[in-house]
Every structure is written in structure tokens, then in C-alpha cells.
Amino acid sequence: MSELYVITGGAGFIGSNLCERLLNEGHHVRCLDNFSTGRRDNIEPFLSNSQFDLIEADICDYDACFSACEGADYVLHQAAWGSVPRSIQMPLFYEEVNIRGTLNMLEAARQREVRRFVYASSSSVYGDEPNLPKKEGREGNLLSPYAVTKTVNEKYAALYTSLYGLETVGLRYFNVFGRRQDPGGAYAAVIPKFLSLLLAGERPVINGDGKQTRDFTYIDNVLDANLLAAHAGSSSAGKVYNVATGGRETLIDVYSLLCKALGVEIEPLFGENRIGDIRDSFADISAAQRDLNFEPRFSFREGIEHAIDWYRDNLV
């Protein structure tokens, strides 16, 4: 049965992949995006699809959020400003977009009686909590305004479930990578930035000593988690779940793997540690496995192979 999914940030990296997945499954997709970070070319192939609607608007505009949720079955809320270091430079802006924008969408979904509201949280909410793996309910002191916004969003979502009965599910993404992730700009994620520079024969910069670890998560695993969360039982409502592969890779090992896969020998440059970054990231995904039936279909190395193929085809 065709259902209507509203995807905020639908022209972005994760959002556009969700649009594509749901359209391929025969659903009606309504994309809400103001193109501040999303890219028009990400959704260009969908514009001729009668099952796809585009609303060019900002989540800070409540009326636009309310209109977007009309007749919706599910909201997959991806819209936000990302990047820990950028949030440290722009805390007021992050509060306005990430917190107020999310609250606008929650209220619009409540008023429109949406069945389920799935939203993107982040591994940054774990802050300086030193224990590994990272487990829901065991968070530390927050290290950036971005992390604060994601934590507040989780609190509001839980409140909307307990107070108003809107079923919400939060997904704490761990270092997502894959096709359509933008390699440009000062705040680009590490894998697309490494790949784009290596393909151009340039030397990437590794912040810190390169021994910090990340639980890199391929995009298709994240798409699976969103759809599973949308349809999971009501016992998952009001909760948040880690979405990751459940492994650890050092940045220097990732860099070496990319060089080997591309057949290049380029020594990296090393820069200063980034303020606000978590040193080690490794997720316990047992709660998502138990409640959402989530199992990562793609390992880190399988995802890297797919990502390299995509960037070769689209950047070279």
C-alpha cells in the first residue's frame, strides 16, 4: 500500500537517499527543503515522478511545516545544520534551526495526527562519556552546541510521546557515509573529503594523530533503520537508538585503506585536533537490534567499496 512520507532535508545526503528508496518502493514522498545545505541535483531525477512533491521552505517556518504534514502517514525528519566545529562558531543559529525547526515539525506532526515521527539524532550526544561501546542511557557532558541541539530534540520528542501521544523514534547516527555525501567545504565529513582529494592527487589533512576511532556507517544501513523505526511496534515510541555498524576504525587506517583501494601513494598532512570532537566512537546497537529488528546489511569495508565506486563515477 502506498503511504505518504514527509522527508525534511530531502535534498540532502541522507534525505535524498530516503526519497529514492521510498519512491522505488512505490510510496508518495513529500520533500521539505530550503536548499541551504541540500542540493537540487540530488532530487532532480525525482521531479518528474508523480509520487514526488517538493516544498521549498524552511523548517523554521511553522506554516510550511504544517502544510508539509497534511495527509502524511510518517515524518522522517533529517533537516538540520550539521558539523560540530561550525556549531561552536554559530551557537545561536544552531539553536534556532536545529531546536526550533525540530519543534515546529513535532508540533505540525501532532496537529496533523501523523502516525510516527522518526528523527535524526547523533552520536555527539554521548559527549565525554569514556566507556565503550556507547550505550543509550549512558551519556556524558556535552562538548558542542550541535550536541546540545540534538539532546534537546531527543527530550522534546520523548515529551511529545508521553504528553501528546505522538509516536516518536530517535536515531543516533554514527558517522554516516556513502553516495551523495558532499565532499566540499571546510566542514565536510572525513571519508568524502579524503576520497575527493585523493582522486584529485592532493594531500588530505588528518586532524589530530589519526588514531581516533569512528564507527563508520554506510548509508543503506541508515535507510534501513529509518524505515524499520517508522514501522516498529509502539513499545519503541519515545525512545532513541544507536544506528551504526558496531565496529571501530582509526582515521589513519581508513586513510590507508582508501589509498590502497585507489592505487595511490600520497602522504597525509596532520593538523590540530578539532575542538568538540569525540575521541572514540563505537556503538552498542543491541537496543536497535532488539526493538527495531535492525541489522547492518553492509559492513564498513563493503560500504567503502560502494562509496569509492560512486565517487569515482561522479567526481572524476
Neighbours of 271 (CB within 10 A): 11
Pick the catalytic residue from 146, 173, 255, 311. Answer: 146
Query: Helix H segments across 101-178?
Result: 101-111, 145-159
Helix (H, G, I), strand (E, B) or coil at 11: coil
CB atoms within 10 A of CB 244: 31
> How buried is 148 (Cβ within 10 angstroms: 0-12 exposed, 13-18 middle, 19+ buried)?
buried
Q: Cα–Cα distance between 206 and 241 in angstroms, integer?
A: 29
Residues 6+ apart with CB under 8 A from 14: 78, 120, 173, 176, 219, 222, 223
What is d(CA 199, CA 196) in angstroms, rounded to the nearest whole number?
A: 5
In sequence order, which residues have a C-beta less than 8 Å from that of residue 242 and are 6 or more positions away? 123, 134, 135, 136, 172, 174, 283, 284, 285, 287, 288
- Is residue 146 part of the annotated active site? The answer reads yes
Instruction: Tell me the catalytic residues.
Output: 146
